[in-house]
Structure 1
Amino acid sequence: MYLVDTNVWLELLLEQEKAGEVLAFLQNTDARDLVITDFSLHSIGVILTRLNKESLFEDFLTDTIEDSGVGKVHLDTAELKQVLVIGRQFRIDFDDSYQYVAAEKYGCALVSFDTDFDRTERGRKTPAGVLSA
């Protein structure tokens, strides 16, 4: 199982430099082996609506969340306290800590372009790294 970080989804949605790498990863990985956190989902919504891309967000919800089989995961209140502990332990910000704790809870490898995860025990994989494994 892979927890796909916010920046990976945005790379594709906003057609950025590594969009092709993300597309290849998604095309070659069973959607049922992928999860997204509620935090990522909300963050993507905030970013896309600020960019006046509401229809893109709606398409993302339909295609990725409702139709593809990508799982949605969340943390409860007690686990949010662990997010704070992890943030202090590895000197990573709240959103990264949230992803880290969720990956730990659900037994997932983190897929991210964020190098801050390299300081953690779990580390991270890039989309290309998953494909080459």
Structure 2
Amino acid sequence: MTRPLPDPGHELFAPFWAGTLEGRVLVQRCDTCATPRWPVRPICPQCHAEGFSWHELPDRGVLHTWTVVWHRTIEELPPPYAVGIVEVGGVRVVGGVVDCPFDQLRVGMRLRPVFQAVTPEVTLVQWAPASPGRATEHQKARAAEEEK
């Protein structure tokens, strides 16, 4: 049995997965009311418009809540591991929380996305404690561009 993976070619999610390959977290934003939305969907839940564009989320989020999984539910994901809900850019996203002992997880702690390439087509987004000097190459390039 192999680890279940998302379909990077799915019509609605393909731009998100393409972004993760580049080290970016993208979400839809309504072209009518500018409401960010995640998970992706064809119609805005706020104003019911159909038009949207993709926008990159900030490179820092805040831990809203988390749980530690102690029982094996998928053979390829041995416990224990933490799963969190991260508030970032006006949406809440779910992802693994890594590089932090479970007893140090705190509601409100700052997190940054980290990217785990699992196949050439799929890179998963996980979240780690935000710390200075640990930016991804994409984040460093974006910061340099913003300074110009």
- TM more than 0.5: no
Q: Which has the higher helix share?
A: 1
User: Which of 1 and 2 has greater Rg?
Assistant: 2
TM-score by length of 2: 0.26
TM-score by length of 1: 0.28
Indicate the structure whose relative CO is greater, using CA pairs within 8 Å and at least 6 residues apart: 1
Q: Which has the higher strand share?
A: 2
